[in-house]
Amino acid sequence: MKKYTYTLKAVFLSILLGMTSTSQADSSLTVRHLVNEQNIVSLNVTAKFLILPVQDDAPESKVCIVKDNEQRGTLMNVRLARERVDSYVPFILSDYKGQQISVDIQGLPADAVCWKELKLADSFDMSNKETFRPVYHHTPAYGWMNDPNGMFYKDGVYHLFFQYNPYGSVWGNMHWGHSTSSDLIHWNFEGVSIVPDAWGAIFSGSCVVDHNNTAGFGKDAVIAFYTSAKSTPWGDVQSESMAYSLDNGKTFVKYAGNPIITSLEKDFRDPKVFWYAPGKHWVMILAVGQHMELYSSVNLKDWKKESEFGKMQGAHGGVWECPDLIELPVEGSRERKWVLICNINPGGPFGGSAAQYFVGSFDGKTFVNESPVQTKWMDWGKDNYATVTWNNAPDGRCIALGWMSNWQYANNVPTRQYRSANTIARDLTLYKAGGEFYLKSTPSREMKQARGEKVSVPSFKVTDSYKIESLLKDNNGAYEIEMEIQVADASKISLNLQNEKGEQVSMYYDLLRKQFVMDRSKSGKVDFSNDFPAVTAAPVHAGKTLRLRLFVDRSSIEAFGEDGKFVMTNLVFPSSPYNQMSFGTEGSGYTVSSFNVYKLR
Ligand code: FRU
């Protein structure tokens, strides 16, 4: 039998309310436990937050606010702590300040530890509690994140929205979270900006800036398009909705005519909208099952289906998601080509989710893939998904951002306070090799501003092996390595990043197969998923000089070859930062002609 301490006030209230037991530690909350695991928490809102203790692997309870006998907002699924507390999330109460409300909590037994830890508070501790949290990559302060959404640039600010669960560190309750940055490196968390409603959760989508007030919400209104994803007892339903913001994305008003596009298809989602200047109209590309659909509109509210793309094209190992369609310059020429980005899950080259792309032409209505035989991948690691680009990026740039995880294990990676980061920002262009067009993903130039202390190693030759014993003096796990290698006649060039515990990421160039390979099977913590220990390989288009940039940030490595002709993104969870690099060879050796390490801030 559990013993609970009662405050006098709680006992008095419990008698008043006819309760049989109270178990909470916070005396300003009155908890009544009912039959069938239903619970009612009554309170006078004297603080900003109700702090909810959560346990990642607990079953979901349902939580909502009730005021004047009416449910306010939608029910949230929260994995409230039963046996232990993994982290805390705040339920924001500021709209009810000074009012008497109830919180209806369904599906939680009366002996759950949650009841002892539930409390009102005016502040919520967002300070970092995670050793694996990256230093220079965007992460949510707390809670779960997946796809980047609605990225737009306006008045010198990059806006990033993201699939966000503010009530736990696993997927669920999709909202749009919001962060802003002026340099793509330092991000401010702006909180939640679009919340679920009667049409469902808020799945992925995009934002445009309506400079000419085509929708009538106001000049320069920011307009968001997202998928309303509704779960019903008869199955899931997806449709497209819109919302507008007159304060640069801080708050949104949902369009009264939502949803604006409906369908009989089950997987019908992730609208990317952009202005097609030659035709003076808007275009929306949508992922539908395993193909894309293209729509056009002049007022952003009424949409006409123009075409479909994708049957018999590219990889079809899973559902198509998060599309994008962009026009890019081809390096070294005046040519421009259209690129259709298509994220796919599962069916990626190394299992799980990945981003493929098609290069071709687009006339405002129809996209034509000009190299249908080859499947092209944006990134050759396991952890770059849902990649999409910024609308209105300055200087004609096309800047992409991915979610740095994989649906195979995203919910299980060893963090608790938050889950998932974005990749670093990458500028996209095209290059031509062997008659084919390929995407080049160059680390955005802002990354150089993050460089701090620099350590240079003088040129050295590797005929057998070579070791750099210490990359940085105080290595906090956040750094960039930039190197240039003169291949000579080597057939294999191996580069091992390791820590003093022997945890290592083995990388090598196989120059016979023209591949760059990364093996993270001994990289540190790998046992949280059988799909995590993996070897990934990228094609290398280079001559006798190799240029490699490695961005390491506590729990990730992004390798860029030839400034982005290949990119490989892989998560790693070492128990201490990798601070050594050892080199090996097969063949007659090679020279590392330049080797710089930069601390990144
Ligand atoms: C891709 C995705 C999208 C969907 C969102 C839901 O990762 O499955 O298709 O909109 O995540 O969170």
The verdict on whether 147 is a catalytic residue reads yes
In angstroms, the CA 282 to CA 295 distance is 8
Q: Is the CB of 480 under 6 A from ligand 1?
A: no
Mean pLDDT of the chain: 95
Instruction: Return the ligand 1 atom nearest residue 174 CA.
Output: 12
Q: Is the CB of 322 under 6 A from ligand 1?
A: yes
pLDDT higher than threshold 70 for residue 23: no
Q: Is the CB of 506 under 6 A from ligand 1?
A: no
Domains and CATH numbers, the chain: 30-121 (2.60.120), 143-443 (2.115.10.20), 450-600 (2.60.120.560)
Share of residues in the chain with pLDDT > 90 (%)? 94
What average pLDDT does range 198-202 have in this prediction?
Answer: 98
pLDDT tens per residue, range 329-370: 999 999 999 999 999 999 999 999 999 999 999 999 999 999
pLDDT higher than threshold 80 for residue 19: no
Closest CA to 478 of 455, 451, 514, 439: 451
Closest CA to 147 of 38, 229, 27, 48: 229
**Band of the pLDDT at 20, cuts 50, 70, 90?**
very low
CA 87 to chain CA centroid, Å, is 20
Q: Is the CB of 167 under 6 A from ligand 1?
A: no
pLDDT higher than threshold 50 for residue 7: no
Which of the two residues, 555 and 19, has the higher pLDDT score? 555
Which pLDDT does position 373 carry in this prediction?
A: 87
Q: Is the CB of 386 under 6 A from ligand 1?
A: yes
Contacts of residue 496, Cβ cutoff 8 Å, sequence gap at least 6: 504, 505, 506, 507, 581, 582, 583, 584
What average pLDDT does range 309-316 have in this prediction?
Answer: 96
Share of residues in the chain with pLDDT > 70 (%)? 96
pLDDT tens per residue, range 412-427: 999 999 999 999 999 9
Q: How far is the CA of 204 from the centre of ligand 1 (A)?
A: 6
Q: How far is the CA of 321 from the centre of ligand 1 (A)?
A: 7
Residue bearing tokens 């990354």: 447
311: left (phi over 0), alpha (psi -120 to 50) or beta: beta
pLDDT tens per residue, range 100-125: 999 999 999 999 999 999 999 999 99
pLDDT higher than threshold 60 for residue 149: yes
Mutation to probe ligand 1, out of 321, 324, 411 (largest number of atoms < 8 A from CB): 321
16: left (phi over 0), alpha (psi -120 to 50) or beta: alpha
What average pLDDT does range 566-579 have in this prediction?
Answer: 98
| Rg of the chain (C-alpha set) | 26
Give the CA distances from residue 246 to residues 182, 253, 391, 543, in Å, rounded to whole numbers and listed in that order.
20, 9, 17, 51
Structure tokens at 29: 């909350």
pLDDT higher than threshold 70 for residue 561: yes
Closest CA to 266 of 309, 215, 321: 321
CA 414 to chain CA centroid, Å, is 16
Q: How far is the CA of 229 from the centre of ligand 1 (A)?
A: 10
Residue bearing tokens 């990388």: 507
Closest CA to 141 of 175, 173, 164, 112: 164
Residue 186: CB atoms within 10 A of its CB come to 15
Which of the two residues, 23 and 588, has the higher pLDDT score? 588
Q: How far is the CA of 407 from the centre of ligand 1 (A)?
A: 10
What average pLDDT does range 66-73 have in this prediction?
Answer: 96
Identify the H or E element spanning 479: strand 478-486
Residue bearing tokens 């290949």: 566
Q: Is the CB of 270 under 6 A from ligand 1?
A: yes
pLDDT tens per residue, range 519-530: 999 999 999 999
Mutation to probe ligand 1, out of 77, 144, 146 (largest number of atoms < 8 A from CB): 146
Cβ atoms of 23 and 116 within 8 Å: the answer is yes
The residue from 56, 147, 210, 379 that is catalytic is 147
Instruction: Return the ligand 1 atom nearest residue 343 CA.
Output: 1
Which pLDDT does position 26 carry in this prediction?
A: 85
pLDDT higher than threshold 50 for residue 10: no
Q: How far is the CA of 90 from the centre of ligand 1 (A)?
A: 24
**Band of the pLDDT at 588, cuts 50, 70, 90?**
confident
Which pLDDT does position 8 carry in this prediction?
A: 32
**Band of the pLDDT at 372, cuts 50, 70, 90?**
confident
pLDDT higher than threshold 70 for residue 22: no
Q: Is the CB of 227 under 6 A from ligand 1?
A: yes
Which pLDDT does position 587 carry in this prediction?
A: 84
In angstroms, the CA 95 to CA 109 distance is 28
Instruction: Return the ligand 1 atom nearest residue 287 CA.
Output: 9
Instruction: Return the ligand 1 atom nearest residue 205 CA.
Output: 10
DSSP states of 567-589: EEEEE---SS---EEEEEEESS-
Q: Where are the alpha helices (DSSP H) in 453-568?
A: none
Tell me the longest C-alpha to C-alpha distance in the chain. 87
Give the CA distances from residue 38 to residues 42, 106, 109, 556, in Å, rounded to whole numbers and listed in that order.
13, 4, 8, 42
Which pLDDT does position 542 carry in this prediction?
A: 82
pLDDT tens per residue, range 427-467: 999 999 999 999 999 999 999 999 999 999 999 999 999 99
DSSP states of 287-322: EETTEEEEEEESSSSS-EEEEEE-TTSS--SSEEEE
Q: How far is the CA of 79 from the centre of ligand 1 (A)?
A: 20
